[in-house]
Amino acid sequence: MVINTALPTSAKPVGAYLTGIRRDNMTAAEAQEHLEELIRLSETYGVPVLGHEIAVLRAPTASHLLNEGRVRQIHQAALAAGADVIIVDDDLSPSQQRNWEKLTGLAVIDRREVILGIFADRAQTREARLQVELARAQYSLPRLKRAWTHLERQRGGGGLRAGAGEAQLEVDRRIVRRQIDRLKRELAHVRRVRATQRRQRTEVPLPAAALVGYTNAGKSSLLNALTGAGVLEEDKLFATLDPTTRKFRLPNRQAIVITDTVGFIRKLPPTLIEAFKATLEEAKVATMLLHVVDANHPSALEHRQATETILEELGLAEKPTILVMNKVDMVPDRTALARLARGAEHVVATSTRTREGLDQLVEAMAELAGHDVGRVELRIPPQRHDIAAALRRLGQVEDEHYDEADASLIITALVPRRFYARFQPFMTTSPASTCGSHKETR
């Protein structure tokens, strides 16, 4: 069993004192917004916030990140607020975390541990649970020492003899390492199964759209509004962790699958991306991305930029993307939307509550989906029933009839470009795109 340093759901603290970190390259407003985001993360995790402050970080220290005097001030404020845990809005190294706890006598966790706890609470599928368990095990391994510091006082004898704490620590390290290896093997198996399922799905010529964006931007609401998927909608960060895929039919009768992915967030450690890699892989294989932004959020532009940075790190920056400025019914001054939309090739303003802009979004999706599909006409000789069957399986048949002169079958169908070569010998016309040129949608 792994000794988790993250606070288990059944033992969450009565209340927390939050410490925001303002580095030299941050404005006061940015630091305040990061702190407010940490407040929402803590509340999402189920930990009431009893107090908070922002500490200015001029030069990080190896021992505590902040200087020791500042840590003591934070400790006194936490005690005065009645908190039994301090949450730091930055990454603490294992030694820094131990030093904070030694100095304050309180539990001290960082932003990453809160996010891991949220993931652990909300993961539903087997893969998501495995991913979270692996992330927590990797996070806890270098932090095991603090779980056994009480045993260090029980050491007996002298010289090089190890005490009970040291012996137990080594045992637990081996247990955690074995668990990490096991989880990696199980995840590899689950991903192989999912890859097979995805290959089977991509054999059917359905374009795919992946909803991406900052957490709580309204992706699940948008999926529900378009498809009636019934996905959980909640005004909390990371309300949706597991991917949900639904089929949707475009105005040109072409079917498309839409996948809701977990929301991004600033200060997300690279190792945590693995914790929801399943949803991100759906984005990688998607025909297009629907980048959803809460247009009413005061930091909507920063949220857009943060998401685009992560997409770039994942190699998705060049994928066709529609910028969906969501919740526009709540925007008091719509002239500000022009700044948010600047530089985006395809932009749609939507509201899932009033359904404003949803038709325009569907039209934009149809346009982008059409660039991956062409309309072809095939003349199939009577002895090649295999070609007709493959066309029905891999394409969307619009019309078919027999030519009585030679008993050949004439089929007009929409076919993904990747299958052109297979049907080329039977094409009577060159493939035609199903839509016009790219254009911006407002």
> Residues 304, 212: one domain?
yes
> Residues 359, 399: one domain?
no
Residue-wise pLDDT tens digits, 287-301: 899 999 999 998 899
> Residues 385, 365: one domain?
no
> Residues 339, 388: one domain?
no
Look up the pTM and report it: 0.68
Give the residue ranges of DSSP H helices in 28-93: 28-45, 68-81
Could you please report the per-residue DSSP string of 194-213? HHHHHHHHHHS---EEEEEE
Q: pLDDT exceeding 70 applies to what percent of the chain?
A: 79
Would you state the pLDDT for residue 5?
A: 45
> Residues 215, 98: one domain?
no
> Residues 331, 406: one domain?
no
Domain assignment present for residue 75? The answer is yes
> Residues 217, 331: one domain?
yes
pLDDT at 156 over 60: no
pLDDT at 410 over 80: yes
Q: What is the CATH number of the domain that holds 309?
A: 3.40.50.300
> Residues 220, 340: one domain?
yes
> Residues 115, 263: one domain?
no
Domain that residue 65 falls in: 9-123
Residues in CB range of 69: below 8 A, 6 or more apart = none
Averaged pLDDT score across all residues of the chain: 81
Residue-wise pLDDT tens digits, 106-118: 999 999 888 888 8
Judge contact between 90 and 111, C-beta under 8 A. Answer: yes
Domain assignment present for residue 327? The answer is yes
Measuring CA to CA, how many Å separate 383 from each of 228, 321, 387, 408? 44, 43, 9, 9
* Domain count for the chain: 3
> Residues 23, 65: one domain?
yes
> Residues 314, 262: one domain?
yes
Q: What is the CATH number of the domain that holds 90?
A: 3.40.50.11060
Domain assignment present for residue 307? The answer is yes
Residue-wise pLDDT tens digits, 47-104: 999 999 999 998 999 999 999 999 999 999 999 999 999 999 998 999 999 999 999 9
